[in-house]
């Protein structure tokens, strides 16, 4: 298949997500989108590219040109952009398109875009005819370091984010760092929130490295981006390999997310970017950790400072505390209304801890003043 | 838990579905619905019973009384009856109810009803917060011998039946044969179509036994029903254990279903009962098998006769052949538009065979005359 060879310098790193017979690679490099050889497609399978209206004009043609050149059968579906597109309604519409094009169980879906496209296309792949294959080609930093890796797929319900979903691992994640060149600055910063998170929960050295390289990272230095993405993927791959279905340690990846999801949901999806809400959520979780005698004041401040340095919001939003806590209560990690938060014992050391609802309310009320 | 003991004579049989860490039992007996001990519930989990308006007045209270007596936290959701309820729209509505009641990931869904309730509730269980536990309590013959066993869950799309779904195994299947006493005769007959299918594809002796016991089975003789259900569950459990995700041999269970699904879909869901369409589909598949030199004329006629004896339709419906074949082409088992049918080499011996579209059209055109 194919008459070309990938220039070796295009692939920078390869990270394996070890999951038995569902093991797959995360391939990281530059200008990989048009390198079909990496995709491992079979000429006998139909290919459906799902993307959005923002990513489509930038990168869709790079894939379709390559697919056309090699004679693959393919078509593309372009959705509108934004978190509101992650809906059950869109699942029905996309399935309708697949059925009308007689897409079979052996087809391959390619999710080309950010977290919204990846989550929606991945969920469609997980339920279409009870599950078909898919590839993740994430084009935002957030998707590259987080949502495209680990097989979590979902759509939103009006009563909660990611409440309808599935664990469905991709066959491969193809990370083209060149796509970060066109990423709006606000989205780049939002992506860094998840990168910071990995340092907070599992790698103090990485956290320090991030502190020392904020400027290079915000200036999109190729080498720095490559390392930040690779290290994030390595940490996520390791966590997912140990606990695919979040029975246990995978929950640590939700550091900052319980507060963050509630902020996103209460503000209305799309008002806060996911990473912005997670960044602020990490500040809250770190402060609560400190108040509960877990991390020291210095670590707490380092977290607040790094979030601020990456240009993410650090000021309390104008939100009703009771409503916020109610939003937190529908969190998937809560058992029988017993709130569990990811808190820090140290930089690089996270733990799941039960905190009762009243304590959270009191903490937030004090925080606001 | 519980102060009662199940009278031993209530449980007649137990069939294991071997699937590694997802292994579960099918418990078969009389008046099991109110025997909570069989359900293996934990008092710490929320329980949500999903049922329909037909089954609810007959059996819901039997469960809720028992749950109430033992102090479980539970509520029930009753949907309208019928195949049209298996929709993405209903998935969204049920998820909304679960979220508004703050149902957590540790909750247990009980699907109480026929195939529609089992498929819909099972699919909700598979996607709610990326998957929660569920129990199947099938109350129709069709659900007891087929749809409740094996983990296939799905809803329909306007362009195809069961096109949106998941493999999600129940924690247990509780078959209360007493529920068959209230089953309308047309539904009982429809259920026998799937029972006949097991004989056709994998057990010639069972097929002969069915031929010799049509009257007892239609008269709902308790012993005969118990044996028919048990043997059907055994065969299905074995097939599912060998090939959970229908990569291979599980496809044999679709004997009669490719024609059957197309008939159901073209007629409009609910016009033909599933088993009626499958019964007629088996007649077509057997005749095609005979025309292709696979089974002999005698076996072919035995299949037509047994379908007729069970009171299932055997006359060609007034349907357009081209439209019917188009409906068949969206079948999940077809790779790249290459129709694959389950045909019989002998009674009790089935095989997946590629048949091209033209041959099917020609066969149907000849059949009609």
Q: Are B310 and B193 contacting, i.e. CB atoms less than 8 angstroms apart?
A: yes
Interface check A354 vs B, CB under 8 A: no
Residues B174 and B36 in one domain: yes
Q: Final residue of a domain: which of A182, A198, A225?
A: A182
Q: Final residue of a domain: which of B159, B182, B205?
A: B182
- What is the predicted pLDDT for the residue at B57? 98
Residues B193 and B321 in one domain: yes
Q: Average pLDDT, stretch A179-206?
A: 97
Interface check B248 vs A, CB under 8 A: no
The boundaries of the domain holding residue B197 are 185-368
B189 φ, ψ (degrees, to nearest 5): -60, -45
From CA B30, how far away is CA A100, in angstroms rounded? 46
Instruction: State the alpha helices, DSSP H only, in A203-272.
Output: 204-212, 214-218, 222-242, 257-267
A3 pLDDT band, cuts 50/70/90, is: very low
From CA A14, how far away is CA A30, in angstroms rounded? 13
Put simply, the answer to whether B130 touches A165 (Cβ < 8 Å) is: yes
Interface check A222 vs B, CB under 8 A: no
B112 φ, ψ (degrees, to nearest 5): -110, 105
The tokens 């339920």 sit on which residue? A127
Distance from CA of B214 to the nearest CA of A (A): 35
Q: Final residue of a domain: which of B130, B148, B182?
A: B182
Residues A85 and A98 in one domain: yes
**Closest chain A residue by Cα to residue B166:** A130
The tokens 């996520």 sit on which residue? A236
Using the CB atoms, write b or e for B170-198: b if 16+ within 10 Å: bbbbbbbbbbbeebeeebbbbbbbbbbbb
B3 belongs to a structural domain: no
Which of B209, B225, B131 is CA-nearest to residue B176? Answer: B225
Give yes or no: A152 in active site. yes
- What is the predicted pLDDT for the residue at B94? 98
Minimal Cβ distance to A332: which of B105, B127, B166? B105
Residues B108 and B178 in one domain: yes
B67 belongs to a structural domain: yes
Put simply, the answer to whether A129 touches B165 (Cβ < 8 Å) is: yes
What digits encode the pLDDT tens for the residues A14-37?
999 999 999 999 999 999 999 999
Which residue of the set A161, A231, A250, A304 is catalytic? A250
Interface check B154 vs A, CB under 8 A: yes
Q: Which residues of A touch B261 (CB under 8 A)?
A: none
| Burial grade of A20 (CB within 10 A; 0-12, 13-18, 19 or more) | exposed
- What is the predicted pLDDT for the residue at B3? 38
Distance from CA of B229 to the nearest CA of A (A): 26
Put simply, the answer to whether B163 touches A129 (Cβ < 8 Å) is: yes
Put simply, the answer to whether A104 touches B336 (Cβ < 8 Å) is: yes
Using CA atoms of B87, B89, B92, B98 in order, give the dihedral in degrees to the nearest 10. Answer: -70
Put simply, the answer to whether A166 touches B130 (Cβ < 8 Å) is: yes
Give yes or no: A261 in active site. yes
Quote the number of domains for chain B: 2
- What is the predicted pLDDT for the residue at B4? 45
Residues A89 and A230 in one domain: no
Residues B16 and B64 in one domain: yes
Using CB atoms and an 8 Å cut-off, which of residues 267-326 of chain A contact chain B?
none
Residues A51 and A141 in one domain: yes
Helix axes B257-267, B321-329, angle to 10 degrees: 120
Active-site positions of B read 130, 152, 194, 236, 246, 250, 254, 257, 261, 274
Interface check B334 vs A, CB under 8 A: yes
What digits encode the pLDDT tens for the residues A298-342?
999 999 999 999 999 999 888 999 999 988 887 766 665 668 899
Put simply, the answer to whether A335 touches B104 (Cβ < 8 Å) is: yes
From CA B57, how far away is CA B65, in angstroms rounded? 13
A3 belongs to a structural domain: no
- What is the predicted pLDDT for the residue at B338? 65
Residue A214 belongs to a domain with what CATH number? 1.20.1090.10
Q: Which residues contact A268 (CB under 8 A, 6 or more apart)?
A: none
Residues B28 and B135 in one domain: yes
pLDDT by residue for chain B (369 residues), tens digit each?
A: 333 455 556 999 999 999 999 999 999 999 999 999 999 999 889 999 999 999 999 999 999 999 999 999 999 999 999 989 999 999 999 999 999 999 999 999 999 999 999 999 999 999 999 999 999 999 999 999 999 999 999 999 998 889 999 999 999 999 999 999 999 999 999 999 999 999 999 999 999 999 999 999 999 999 999 999 999 999 999 999 999 999 889 999 999 999 998 998 899 877 999 999 999 999 999 999 999 999 999 999 999 999 999 999 999 888 999 999 988 887 766 655 668 899 999 999 999 999 988 999 999 998 764
Q: Which residues of A touch B165 (CB under 8 A)?
A: 127, 129-130
Q: Which residues of A touch B91 (CB under 8 A)?
A: 88, 164
Would you say residue A1 has pLDDT above 50?
no
Would you say residue A146 has pLDDT above 70?
yes
Using CB atoms and an 8 Å cut-off, which of residues 57-116 of chain A contact chain B?
88, 91-92, 95-96, 99-100, 102, 104-106
A2 belongs to a structural domain: no
Would you say residue A366 has pLDDT above 70?
yes
Distance from CA of B294 to the nearest CA of A (A): 28
Minimal Cβ distance to B167: which of A99, A130, A336? A130
A369 pLDDT band, cuts 50/70/90, is: very low
Put simply, the answer to whether A104 touches B335 (Cβ < 8 Å) is: yes
What digits encode the pLDDT tens for the residues A95-118?
999 999 999 999 999 999 999 999
A161 belongs to a structural domain: yes
Q: Is A149 helix (H, G, I), strand (E, B) or coil?
A: coil
Q: Are B153 and B166 contacting, i.e. CB atoms less than 8 angstroms apart?
A: yes
Residues A168 and A195 in one domain: no
State yes or no: ipTM above 0.90: yes
Residues B157 and B305 in one domain: no
> In whole angstroms, how far apart are CA B115 and each of A346, B34, B136?
52, 20, 10
What digits encode the pLDDT tens for the residues A44-74?
899 999 999 999 999 999 999 999 999 999 9
| Burial grade of A291 (CB within 10 A; 0-12, 13-18, 19 or more) | middle
Residues B156 and B201 in one domain: no
A45 belongs to a structural domain: yes
B125 belongs to a structural domain: yes
Minimal Cβ distance to A164: which of B46, B95, B100? B95
Which residue of the set A34, A244, A246, A264 is catalytic? A246
Distance from CA of A7 to the nearest CA of B (A): 33
Residues A106 and A59 in one domain: yes
Residue B34 belongs to a domain with what CATH number? 3.40.50.1970
Would you say residue A160 has pLDDT above 70?
yes
B1 belongs to a structural domain: no
Put simply, the answer to whether B104 touches A336 (Cβ < 8 Å) is: yes
The tokens 């129990």 sit on which residue? B135
């Amino acid at each position: 298949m194919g008459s070309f060879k990938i220039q070796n310098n295009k692939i920078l790193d390869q990270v394996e997500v070890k999951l038995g017979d569902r093991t797959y690679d995360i391939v990281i490099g530059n200008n990989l989108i048009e390198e079909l050889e990496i995709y491992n497609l079979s000429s006998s399978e139909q290919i459906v590219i799902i993307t959005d209206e923002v990513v489509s004009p930038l990168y869709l043609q790079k894939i379709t040109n390559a697919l056309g050149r090699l004679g693959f059968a393919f078509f593309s579906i372009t959705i509108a952009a934004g978190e509101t597109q992650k809906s059950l309604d869109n699942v029905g519409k996309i399935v309708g398109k697949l059925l009308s094009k007689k897409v079979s169980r052996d087809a391959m879906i390619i999710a080309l875009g950010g977290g919204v496209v990846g989550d929606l296309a991945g969920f469609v792949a997980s339920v279409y005819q009870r599950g078909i294959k898919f590839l993740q080609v994430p084009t935002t930093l957030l998707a590259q370091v987080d949502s495209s890796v680990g097989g979590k797929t979902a759509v939103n319900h009006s009563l909660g984010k990611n409440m309808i979903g599935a664990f469905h691992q991709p066959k491969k994640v193809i990370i083209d760092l060149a796509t970060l060149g066109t990423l709006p600055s606000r989205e780049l910063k939002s992506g860094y929130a998840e990168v910071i998170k990995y340092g907070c929960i599992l790698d103090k050295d990485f956290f320090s490295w991030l502190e020392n390289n904020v400027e290079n990272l915000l200036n999109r230095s190729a080498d720095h981006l490559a390392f930040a993405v690779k290290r994030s993927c390595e940490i996520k791959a390791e966590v997912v390999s140990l606990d695919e279905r979040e029975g246990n340690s995978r929950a640590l990846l939700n550091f900052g997310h319980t507060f963050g999801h509630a902020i996103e949901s209460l503000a209305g999806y799309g008002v806060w970017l996911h990473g912005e809400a997670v960044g602020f959520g990490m500040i809250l979780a770190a402060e609560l950790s400190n108040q509960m005698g877990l991390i020291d004041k210095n670590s707490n401040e380092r977290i607040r400072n790094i979030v601020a340095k990456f240009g993410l919001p650090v000021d309390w939003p104008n939100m009703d505390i009771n409503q916020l806590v109610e939003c937190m209560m529908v969190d998937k990690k809560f058992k029988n209304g017993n709130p569990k938060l990811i808190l820090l014992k140290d930089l690089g050391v996270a733990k799941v801890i039960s905190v009762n609802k009243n304590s959270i309310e009191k903490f937030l009320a004090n925080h606001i003043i």
